[in-house]
Amino acid sequence: MKRLHVLAMPTLGAALLCLPLVAGAQETDPDTGLVKAEGWDTVRSNCTACHSAKLVTQNSGTRNHWENLIRWMQDTQGLWEFQAETEETLLDYLAEYYGPKEDTRRPALPRTLMPDNPYPTVADSG
């Protein structure tokens, strides 16, 4: 029933439908969800051993942010040391494809925080 509300809001509906198209502009690895670009397999082999790649793909930030995260995992979570070259590859990739989200919309509000839909819905008119 809640899904029908989207039908009553064509603009929002259209925007939501476009999201996968925009996201699909970059090819992603079906197993990990990582953007397939230079360095991605280095990230896959070093960053998915302890936790899901989702932790990586759902995070974002500057090169500095990623470097701090790596240091934190090295200091407290048992992450191994990288050779300088490997670390460069990791940080280049992370900062490029999972960089700061200045130009994207904030995540959608959870349903529980949304106000009631004031518009008639398909369910009402049926």
Which residues make up the interface to ligand HEC (CB under 6 A)? Answer: 46-47, 49-51, 55-56, 59, 69-70, 73, 77-79, 90, 94
As measured in angstroms, the least distance from the Cβ of 66 to ligand HEC is 6
- Residues 99, 62 contacting (CB under 8 angstroms): yes
Judged by beta carbon, residue 2 or residue 51, the one nearer ligand HEC is 51
Judged by beta carbon, residue 55 or residue 123, the one nearer ligand HEC is 55
The C-alpha atoms of residue 47 and residue 1 are separated, in whole angstroms, by: 40
- Residues 57, 98 contacting (CB under 8 angstroms): yes
The C-alpha atoms of residue 125 and residue 108 are separated, in whole angstroms, by: 27
As measured in angstroms, the least distance from the Cβ of 27 to ligand HEC is 20
Judged by beta carbon, residue 78 or residue 110, the one nearer ligand HEC is 78
Judged by beta carbon, residue 35 or residue 70, the one nearer ligand HEC is 70
The C-alpha atoms of residue 48 and residue 88 are separated, in whole angstroms, by: 18
Two tokens at 25?
């502009």
As measured in angstroms, the least distance from the Cβ of 20 to ligand HEC is 23
As measured in angstroms, the least distance from the Cβ of 3 to ligand HEC is 31
The C-alpha atoms of residue 6 and residue 94 are separated, in whole angstroms, by: 34
